[in-house]
């Protein structure tokens, strides 16, 4: 199963390292990643593969959200199909 992870917030050092290390610990593989800095703000979107993770998507999404709060970012993880449906015009 694939999911989309979005990370947004005020830019600071180590965001990519912290998020990618967290995902790796959970058995989540990053398949594609794009990030940008707009002024003082950081935005990143990743397509990830959850097939090696031992946790369910809902639990991972909650853990991502909690980890985001700890590092001062907003992190959302959602099933790829839901992300695509929300962004179809």
Q: Mind listing the pLDDT tens digit for each residue in 28-79?
A: 999 999 999 999 999 999 999 999 999 999 999 999 999 999 999 999 999 8
User: Quick check: 49 and 4 in contact, CB under 8 A?
Assistant: no
Give one DSSP letter per residue of 32-58, joined into a string: EEEEEEETTEEEEEEEEE-TT-SS-HH
Q: Distance (Å, rounded) from C-alpha 33 to C-alpha 47?
A: 7
Range of the domain at 21: 2-86
| Count: domains in the chain | 1
Token duo for residue 75: 């992190």
Over residues 1-23, the pLDDT tens digits come to 999 999 999 999 999 999 999 99
Helix (H, G, I), strand (E, B) or coil at 6: strand
Domain harbouring 73, CATH code: 3.30.70.260
């Amino acid at each position: 199963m694939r999911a989309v992870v979005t990370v947004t917030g005020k830019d600071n050092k180590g965001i990519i390292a912290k998020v990618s290390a967290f995902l790796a610990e959970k058995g989540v593989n990053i398949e594609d990643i794009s990030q940008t800095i707009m002024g003082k703000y950081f935005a990143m979107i990743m397509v990830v593969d959850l097939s090696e993770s031992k946790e369910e998507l809902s639990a991972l999404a909650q853990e991502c959200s909690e980890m985001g709060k700890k590092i001062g970012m907003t992190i959302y993880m959602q099933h790829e199909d839901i992300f695509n449906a929300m962004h179809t015009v």
